[in-house]
Chain A
Amino acid sequence: MHYDAVIVGSGPAGSMTARFAAEAGAKVLILERRAEVGVPVLCGEGVSQKVDSFKVLEGKRWIATKMKGARIFSPNGTTVTLAAEYAGDETGYVVYRDIFDQELARGALKKGAEIMLNTRAVDLLKKNGKIKGVTAQHFDETLEIEADVVVGADGVESRVGRWAGIKTTLKPYDLETCVQYTMTNIDWDSPYCDFFLGKHVAPGGYIWVFPKGRDVANVGIGVLASLSEAGKAKQYLDKFIAAQPALKKGESLRIITGADPVAEPIQSVTDNLILVGDAARQVDPITGGGLMHSIEAGRYAGETIGNAVEKQRFDTQTLSEYETRWKNAFGKKLHRNYVVKEIMLDMEDKTLDMLADSLKDYKFEEFSTLSIIKALVTKHPSLLVKLTPLMKLARA
């Protein structure tokens, strides 16, 4: 079996890569260890409406609800409301992630990509030190699949990167460890995605409530692994739910655990290999949102593979087109937000309350970091010191 590209993982990153590579004429195969694309869902299922501009999802079956915006609750309950266009990549639609992923995969298959389910990549295939494909376990069979490019779209665990010698191991400081219930029998009819902050709510992370239509919502938590202990994330979430009159009588249709990398991105290209999506740590370090970046980067990866196949060159230099494009698109933002994540981690609950108090009446029309800082500091001058690093960033 020989392919131009073999793609490990059928999440949004893998399917987008496959779609655009196939569209450019490449012969591609997706390997997925699961028996069904997108199942189980390991996600809060919030995504920006910017996803429409990619024109990769047909129909509306994947949409659960369309959101007006986001509300952020500081530790003392002060609320900042953001319209959807300012609320980041996680607010716009709440989706059915299983259908969402299957629609993206279907798009790739329609363009000519192939897929093998129940197929786990177990190692890289190498000859004289050069990457030549992957070995995979398919039911009882061990397969050798040759390819000019191997794409690691294998999510947070990212074994493919490790096999290629790229350091993918996350520091606990760079991982949100998550639990989420999909709840029903709740009294939560809101057009907003809600985020709850505070050391006693979710250390180093937040709790979210993303409505999926009347009477159903994803209620989840991310806790920074370095601030967590065994089973803590679930305990914090259960405590939160028990204290919310609108949620505490609810029942769960689904429980999931999750792992969300909130790290600086890593090297995403080497000879004959590309990493995309969570595998490349392309997740917003503040919100933990990764869908939009996976989709965008997947497109660049697929187009780059198309060009590489045309030139029949698969070295780092040729594949770097991909890294350059995604870094130009959102690399700076990821770096900036990583710095902001570190600043926020140092903040006391009191500071978060002051921030929220300064912003609660702020009209997010002129949305620049500097204008927000001005609004903050006018109301609470003592915030100035805490925000100095942010101002440096805003000027940079």
Chain B
Amino acid sequence: MAKHKAFVKKEKCLACGGCISVCPQDAILMISSKAIVDNELCNSCSICVKTCPIGAIIWEGT
């Protein structure tokens, strides 16, 4: 089964950019004040999930 990808819950994200600054794949962008993960680039390393101070990043489909 394919690994889950990181997913930003838009309604929670407060746009600090922390996840973007630590993503080793450069897979996250800030668009209109919300972080958005590019599924193609995400390698499921979980760094962004652990970094988000308010837990706005979850695993897609979970």
Contact = CB atoms under 8 A, between A and B. Distances in A.
Contact of B21 (A175, A223, A234): A175
Contacts of B50: 172, 225, 228-230
Contact of A175 (B22, B24, B26): B22
A230 B23 CA distance: 15
A257 B51 CA distance: 11
9 contacts: A40-B14, A156-B21, A157-B21, A175-B51, A177-B16, A178-B53, A230-B49, A234-B55, A257-B18
Interface of B: 14-18, 20-24, 26, 30-31, 33, 47, 49-55, 57-58
Contacts of B16: 42, 156, 177-178, 256-259
A172 B22 contact: yes
Which of B17, B18, B49, B57 is the most central at the interface, judged by chain A CB atoms within 10 Å of its CB?
Answer: B18
Given A42-B16, A178-B16, A255-B14, A261 B21 contact: yes
A259 B22 CA distance: 10
A329 interface: no
Contacts of A178: 16, 18, 53
A245 interface: no
A155 B54 CA distance: 20
A-B complex: 3 closest residue pairs judged by Cβ atoms:
A231-B55, A259-B18, A233-B53
Given A179-B53, A228-B53, 11 more contacts: A42-B16, A156-B16, A172-B22, A175-B22, A177-B18, A225-B18, A225-B50, A228-B50, A231-B52, A231-B53, A257-B52
A158 interface: yes
Contacts of B57: 230
A171 interface: yes
A40 B15 contact: yes
Which of B20, B51, B57 is the most central at the interface, judged by chain A CB atoms within 10 Å of its CB?
Answer: B51
B38 to A, nearest CB: 13
A169 interface: yes
A274 to B, nearest CB: 19
A97 to B, nearest CB: 14
A158 B50 CA distance: 20
A170 interface: yes
Interface in A230-279: 230-234, 255-259, 261
A172 B51 CA distance: 7
A257 B53 CA distance: 7
A169 B55 CA distance: 21
A169 B14 contact: no
A162 interface: yes
B53 A177 contact: yes
A220 to B, nearest CB: 10
Nearest to B30: A157
Contacts of B49: 230
Contact of B54 (A120, A168, A169, A234): A234
A229 to B, nearest CB: 5
Nearest to B57: A230
Given A169-B24, A171-B22, A225-B22, A156 B17 contact: yes
Interface in A174-227: 175, 177-179, 223, 225
B53 to A, nearest CB: 4
B6 to A, nearest CB: 11
B16 to A, nearest CB: 4
B20 A157 contact: yes
Which of A40, A157, A258 is the most central at the interface, judged by chain B CB atoms within 10 Å of its CB?
Answer: A157
B26 A169 contact: yes
A231 B58 CA distance: 11
Contacts of A155: 17
A120 B54 CA distance: 25
Contacts of A40: 14-15
Contacts of B30: 33, 157
Contacts of B33: 34
Which of B15, B16, B57 is the most central at the interface, judged by chain A CB atoms within 10 Å of its CB?
Answer: B16
Nearest to B55: A231
Given A169-B23, A175-B22, A225-B22, A230 B17 contact: no
